[in-house]
Structure 1
Amino acid sequence: MRFRGKLVEIGCIHHFTRVIGTVSKLIKQCVLRITPANWYFILSEKLVNGGVQIWCDLPQGHFFDEYAMEGVCQEANEIYLELAPENLVKALKTAQNAKWIKIKLTKKNTPYLTVEVDLPTLSAHSRTVVHDIPVYVVPRRLWPEYEEPKLPDFDVSIVMPQLKLLRNIVDKMKNLSNYVALSANQNGEMKLMVETDMVSVSTHFRDLLNPAVNRGDDSEEPDPEVFSEARIDIRKLAQFLVGQQINYTRVICNIVHRRVVHFLLLHDDVSLQYFMPVVAS
């Protein structure tokens, strides 16, 4: 089992750092799945127990100039590592002016993801900083727990307003309640509402885009005016909005009425899925 990759282009280094920074803001511990074509950052908690699920997909060819890996065996050419993404961010932050970064899997009594950073100097001598990030190798029998989440049949799919605007609104709403009702319809409308015994506050958005919703052959088209709603933890929503460090081209919110909220964040070379559980009224 081997892995070695090298980033040279400074723009790729910065973008890679921002992506990992976003992941670190959302989760403390995750599984890094390394394949010949992609890196995946995965968190798989049970939604029914109030957990969240995250699936972040990075095509390695968009970031790495050199990339070589050898999985656990020929039939399963993949590597699964459990790590704290914050440790990887700390290593990458020392590389903002680096000539190159090498990331490799090493073993020094225990497994590490070793990050080597070649920094510029005023002399002819090179200056290399090495970070050893402890990892746990996930055994193959546990891999099925980290498969890509299956998407349910959504009742509503809507393109969200600017995240910065939503962040400001949610930041004010979280001082009023622990929960927010997020609702939308297929007519381009979305609402955020908090209610207490003393006050009810809501924000409305109109003229948003509705991506097509895939439905079964026997499913009837719902009334586009009807709202589907999900009551969620407002602090988890705020954490999700604050953690974004990438200018996504599109952020889509999918809702299964009173069951789950699914956020899909899309960039040219990155996609991030975030499943947020619904809280009972």
Structure 2
Amino acid sequence: MRLRAKIQRNLLFFKLAQAVERIGRSCFIKFTREYVAFGAQSGLGDDPVGGVGAVQCWSRIGKEMLFHEYKVESNANNEIYLEMKVEDLLLAMRTSANASAVMMRMTGRSADAYLTFVITTEDHMGNLRPITQNVPIVKIMSADGASNTTVFSEPEVPDPELHIMLPQLDRLRNIASSYRSVADYVVISANLVGEMVLTTSDGVSQFANPLGTSDTGSSFLSTRYSPAEKAHVETRFSNLHIPKLSEDDTMHIENEHPHLTRLRTRPKEFVSAMVRVTDLQKVLQSQYVKPTNVVCCLVPNYAIIFYVYLKDVDTHNATLTYFIPENA
């Protein structure tokens, strides 16, 4: 079993680990000759099978977007499956921040294996200094073991009722942080004229049809506090972008995609789903990969899915995907 690569200067390999840091203590990495897959799931301990109601994140990135001089070999169809502690990878990332080159290779034996990073830095005199950092591998998984996990595959969900682009992530992070101090849940409501409303909730009440709009033309409208209820906060956005669906999304043999039906028949009607504020904060951690945009997909009474499109790569399909079951 061999793994060796030179990490791209943008350090996207580490940034993906940073983006999933709050999902779980471990991340799972699949190395193949063509791509690398990252996966993480909340509630995972030693058993990576997970369970119902777990927040899940996964990504599949072409090798050329992460590495130079990439080589992987194994008896399992030249694929390697690893479980790593996120905090250990992030320690290596901090050491690599100002590196001129970062080489990665797999060292040791199965029971005591590492991802070894040789991090080359340059001092003010132009002298190169290599630093070696061994990151412990928690587990080398077999192909059968990996196939029985849920971290590398997208869960089967109904077609979303609505797709909408999120506002700026740093603004949403501030809002979510303030919400967490007053409520455990947030209801995300949106329609297909580009309006979105975030409302705190007690975990029972939903506000499926937010009232009122604004003619200011601003993407960030207002935050309103209701004195009649304990900790009811509402934040409103408008003029958000509605993305077009891909051909794969619209290829339904019998029925039109629900997003298109809603766009044609009732675009101003709000769709809502309720999730924990802390779970929303986990998604907003994806700001560390500096995405070009983030698409929110609402499946009422089921889940919210977020597609984070990566900025540091040149393909539309390079994404981080987050799945949050409703009111988990």
Range class of TM-score, shorter chain: 0.7 to 0.9
Displacement after TM superposition at 1:96 (Å)? 2.3
Task: Note if 1:188 corresponds to 2:194.
Answer: yes
**Matched residue SS, 1:86:** helix
Mapped to 1, the partners of 2:236 and 2:14 lie a distance apart of 34
RMSD: 2.5
Alpha-carbon displacement from aligned partner over 1:222-278 (angstroms, at most 9, x marks no partner):
222222211100112123324521321110000100210001100242421010111
Mapped to 2, the partners of 1:255 and 1:127 lie a distance apart of 50
Instruction: Trace 1:131-280 onto structure 2 (pairs within 5 A).
Output: 131-135=133-137, 136-144=139-147, 145=149, 146-150=151-155, 152=157, 153-195=159-201, 197-213=229-245, 214=249, 216=252, 217-219=254-256, 221-222=261-262, 223-242=266-285, 244-268=287-311, 269=313, 270-279=318-327
Mapped to 2, the partners of 1:168 and 1:38 lie a distance apart of 34
- For 1:105, give the aligned amino acid: M
Going from structure 1 to structure 2, the CA distance change for 1:194 and 1:126 (only over 3 Å counts) comes to closer
- For 1:97, give the aligned amino acid: N
Q: In the alignment, is the contact (CA less than 8 A) between 1:39 and 1:57 conserved in 2? A: yes
Displacement after TM superposition at 1:156 (Å)? 0.7
1:35 counterpart residue number: 32
Q: In the alignment, is the contact (CA less than 8 A) between 1:72 and 1:79 conserved in 2? A: no
User: What number of residue pairs does the alignment pair up?
Assistant: 275
Instruction: Trace 1:51-200 onto structure 2 (pairs within 5 A).
Output: 51-73=54-76, 76-108=77-109, 110-121=112-123, 126-135=128-137, 136-144=139-147, 145=149, 146-150=151-155, 152=157, 153-195=159-201, 197-200=229-232
Mapped to 1, the partners of 2:79 and 2:278 lie a distance apart of 35
Going from structure 1 to structure 2, the CA distance change for 1:48 and 1:118 (only over 3 Å counts) comes to closer
Mapped to 1, the partners of 2:306 and 2:163 lie a distance apart of 10
Q: In the alignment, is the contact (CA less than 8 A) between 2:23 and 2:41 conserved in 1? A: no
Alpha-carbon displacement from aligned partner over 1:84-115 (angstroms, at most 9, x marks no partner):
12211101211223231111111155121111
Mapped to 1, the partners of 2:299 and 2:162 lie a distance apart of 7
Displacement after TM superposition at 1:20 (Å)? 2.9
* TM-score, scaled to structure 1: 0.87
Q: In the alignment, is the contact (CA less than 8 A) between 1:265 and 1:273 conserved in 2? A: yes
**Matched residue SS, 2:20:** helix
Going from structure 1 to structure 2, the CA distance change for 1:199 and 1:95 (only over 3 Å counts) comes to closer
Structure 2: runs of 5 or more not aligned: 43-48, 203-228
Mapped to 2, the partners of 1:28 and 1:47 lie a distance apart of 13
Mapped to 1, the partners of 2:136 and 2:231 lie a distance apart of 49
Alpha-carbon displacement from aligned partner over 1:147-198 (angstroms, at most 9, x marks no partner):
4204531111101111111112222122211000011122211110014543
Q: In the alignment, is the contact (CA less than 8 A) between 1:47 and 1:277 conserved in 2? A: no
* TM-score, scaled to structure 2: 0.76
Q: In the alignment, is the contact (CA less than 8 A) between 2:291 and 2:309 conserved in 1? A: yes
2:207 counterpart residue number: none
Going from structure 1 to structure 2, the CA distance change for 1:235 and 1:124 (only over 3 Å counts) comes to closer
Structure 1: runs of 5 or more not aligned: none
Mapped to 1, the partners of 2:284 and 2:297 lie a distance apart of 16
The percentage of aligned residue pairs carrying the same residue is 27
Mapped to 2, the partners of 1:72 and 1:244 lie a distance apart of 37
Report runs of 4+ in structure 1 exceeding 6 Å deviation.
122-125
**Matched residue SS, 1:129:** strand
Going from structure 1 to structure 2, the CA distance change for 1:180 and 1:122 (only over 3 Å counts) comes to closer
